[in-house]
């Protein structure tokens, strides 16, 4: 458990410390391009999270309730989905994103090479991501967190080293590539050990249906990401002068939300094993802890980030306090939706996913139009989606929870 928290703390600290390094060595314009790189790979990561969100729970059910055949069968399904995803990343995604950068950012040949290095390394790592999933599903969340911590430290230290001698976007892209591949290698080593020693004395368990759930949950996670963080790819061509500032705020908000949802991931095995009443207690506890972590973390960012940016003399500032409060509210709503989604999917209920994805896509479209017409980024990309998610999606998720059946009856 503490390994997972250590990773999130390391991730947050490294992300905060890497900002002045990149700003001072790259400048605001190239840093904005780095944020776009990160935003696109973040969108791909959300698709990966969609696959992972289903695979972890399916493998966890096979591990905790089934026999070895159930366990291996679910691992095989996850591996097939990840191989397909890696192929998509190296094919159509690579082509479309390269065209996007050429048409909207007119990036240099060197920065194009940096992008190719980054996206290729991510695609390779996705082939091995099922090993990461195995550790999370078999109560080795702490070990997985420790490996992720090592990977994040490699990224930070290697970025600082390379960019000192070679101030270019190639530096963080190469560093992140090495870190991603290193993490994949360590996860593979320990996951194989977990699989090799799993021989439970149990009969086969009827695992809930898998087919279709990956597509549904991937649509949900991808649309949720695009609603705020991924929207930077739309904001950049519409409001180029605000990309760096707004993107930095999004990055910090997303990191805080990611750190805050760790309890839901750590307590997954407990949730899967719970009966209906136990699961409800788990949900209440998780909501309280996750919300508390977010408020503490985001409050710290509001207090400290502007001071730190001034101390380093960065040529970039965060948006105004009003916009940051709006952004914090938006991510807090999304955090609660994510916790409820985690609870539903732990019981193999993905019926919410498609409707939520459609609502998010329609909201992003409407928000984009409103922002373009009004010239107000915060109105279209914060106020509009926050209202829709808070008034419609969040109550809808709570209603789904109230109708939820125990997993053993699914």
Integer Cα distance of 225 and 50 in angstroms: 11
- Other C-beta atoms lying within 10 Å of the C-beta of residue 255: 21
Q: What is the pLDDT of residue 403?
A: 80
What does the DSSP 8-state code read for residue 339? Answer: H
Question: How many angstroms separate the CA atoms of 390 and 112, rounded?
Answer: 39
Is 203 a residue whose pLDDT tops 70? no
204 versus 378: the higher-pLDDT residue is 378
312 pLDDT band, cuts 50/70/90, is low
Q: 239-253 as b/e, with b when 16 or more CB fall inside 10 Å?
A: beeebbbbbbbbbbb
**% pLDDT > 70, the chain:** 88
What integer pLDDT is reported at residue 242 of this predicted model? 82
CA dist., res. 196 & res. 179, Å (int): 26
The pair of three-digit structure tokens given for residue 136, joined into one six-digit string? 């999370």
Q: What is the mean pLDDT of residues 240-252?
A: 85
Cβ atoms 39, 229 nearer than 8 A? yes
Sequence length of the chain is 410
pTM of the complete model beyond 0.85: no
Q: What is the pLDDT of residue 408?
A: 38
């Amino acid at each position: 458990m503490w390994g997972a928290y250590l990773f999130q703390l390391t991730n947050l600290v490294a992300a905060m410390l890497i900002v002045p390094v990149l700003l001072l060595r790259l400048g605001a314009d190239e840093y904005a391009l780095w944020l776009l790189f990160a935003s696109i790979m973040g969108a791909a990561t959300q698709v990966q999270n969609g696959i992972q969100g289903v695979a972890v729970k399916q493998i966890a059910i096979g591990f905790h309730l089934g026999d070895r055949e159930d366990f291996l069968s679910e691992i095989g399904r996850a591996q097939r989905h990840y191989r397909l995803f890696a192929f998509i990343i190296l094919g159509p995604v690579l082509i479309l994103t390269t065209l996007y950068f050429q048409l909207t950012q007119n990036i240099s040949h060197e920065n194009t090479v940096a992008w190719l290095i980054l996206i290729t390394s991510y695609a390779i790592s996705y082939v091995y991501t099922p090993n990461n999933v195995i550790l999370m599903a078999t109560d080795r969340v702490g070990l997985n967190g420790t490996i992720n911590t090592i990977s994040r430290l490699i990224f930070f230290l290697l970025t600082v080293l390379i960019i000192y001698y070679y101030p270019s976007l190639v530096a963080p892209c190469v560093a992140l590539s090495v870190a991603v591949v290193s993490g994949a290698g360590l996860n593979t080593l320990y996951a194989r050990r977990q699989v090799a020693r799993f021989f439970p004395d149990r009969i086969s368990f009827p695992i809930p249906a898998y087919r279709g759930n990956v597509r549904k949950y991937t649509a949900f996670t991808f649309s949720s990401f695009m609603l705020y963080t991924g929207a930077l790819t739309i904001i950049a061509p519409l409001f180029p002068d605000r990309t760096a500032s707004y993107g930095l705020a999004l990055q910090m908000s997303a990191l805080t939300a990611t750190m805050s949802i760790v309890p839901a991931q750590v307590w997954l095995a407990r949730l899967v094993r719970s009966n209906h009443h136990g699961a409800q207690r788990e949900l209440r506890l998780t909501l309280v802890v996750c919300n508390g972590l977010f408020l503490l973390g985001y409050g710290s960012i509001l207090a400290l980030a502007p001071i730190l940016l001034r101390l380093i003399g960065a040529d970039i500032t965060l948006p105004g306090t009003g916009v940051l409060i709006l952004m914090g509210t938006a991510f807090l709503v999304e955090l609660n939706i994510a916790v409820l989604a985690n609870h539903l999917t732990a019981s193999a209920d993905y019926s919410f996913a498609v409707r939520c994805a459609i609502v998010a896509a329609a909201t992003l479209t409407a928000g984009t139009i409103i922002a373009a017409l009004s010239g107000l980024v915060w109105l279209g990309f914060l106020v509009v989606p926050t209202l829709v998610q808070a008034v419609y999606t969040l109550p809808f998720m709570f209603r789904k929870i109230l109708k939820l059946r125990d997993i053993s009856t699914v």
